Amino acid sequence: AQSVTQPDIHITVSEGASLELRCNYSYGATPYLFWYVQSPGQGLQLLLKYFSGDTLVQGIKGFEAEFKRSQSSFNLRKPSVHWSDAAEYFCAVGERSKLIFGAGTRLAVHP
Amino acid sequence: KAGVTQTPRYLIKTRGQQVTLSCSPISGHRSVSWYQQTPGQGLQFLFEYFSETQRNKGNFPGRFSGRQFSNSRSEMNVSTLELGDSALYLCASSLLGTHEKLFFGSGTQLSVL
């Protein structure tokens, strides 16, 4: 069965530091991969997605992610974190018309 | 363009009751999906409707049902509520619903007492 693993439940970084959130997936075919962000009391917002082509994907808010088939990973990165990036981040894989989400990583940003 | 609208925002029910949640998708979107979010189970897919037809269903008991109207608005119903049904229910819409960008509403927070 398809699954998504986000190994880090909580991450704390200082404002201005770089960020990498890990995501590993289990999927038989070429996956459709997504990163969503959820602020407290809000729905989810798409940061970026990978379907095919260039394995380095650029998203909104300065985020990027790299698809590595050999490692079954799709890690999210940002070179310099802002206090407003504090939120919960979800990696997901698309299967038919549904998304299978990871458990999420909660990001805290220290000033 | 208005976003995805979910009503009500908060709901408190007691065990055994039933509840209906509503979702109005972005204008022109024909696909509506529903997800349940809980601290223990995370985000889980409930079902997806496209042009009034259920196209996909998650692993939830038959107490959870939904429908979509001709104007693409969708409702989900939970009958015989259990304490474990307490969750944030999120609705998402998209044009076609196949691996494309989903637009999520802010959700309905359901508390079952």
Q: Compute the distance between CA of residue A10 and CA of residue A76 in angstroms, rounded to an integer.
A: 15
* Chain A interface test: which of B43, B48, B54 (most A C-beta within 10 Å): B43
Lowest mean pLDDT among A50-54, A75-79, B8-12, B65-69: A50-54
Half-sphere exposure of B46 (CA within 13 A, CB side): 27
Cβ contacts of A94 on chain B, cutoff 8 Å:
99
- A90 neighbors A4 (Cβ within 8 angstroms): no
Of how many residues is chain B composed? Answer: 113
Nearest CA in chain A to B95: A97
Q: Which of A96, A42, A51 is nearest to B31 (CA)?
A: A96
Q: Mind listing the pLDDT tens digit for each residue in A29-40?
A: 778 999 999 998
State both tokens at A105: 């990583």
Residue of A nearest to B32 (CA): A97
**Token duo for residue B61:** 């008991």
**For chain A, which residues lie within 8 Å of any Cβ of chain B, measuring from their own Cβ?**
32, 36, 41-46, 49, 51, 90, 94, 96-104
Chain B residues touching residue A9 (CB < 8 angstroms):
none
Percent of chain B with pLDDT over 70: 97
Rg (CA), chain A: 13
Task: Encode pLDDT of B42-70 as tens digits.
Answer: 999 999 999 999 999 999 999 999 999 99
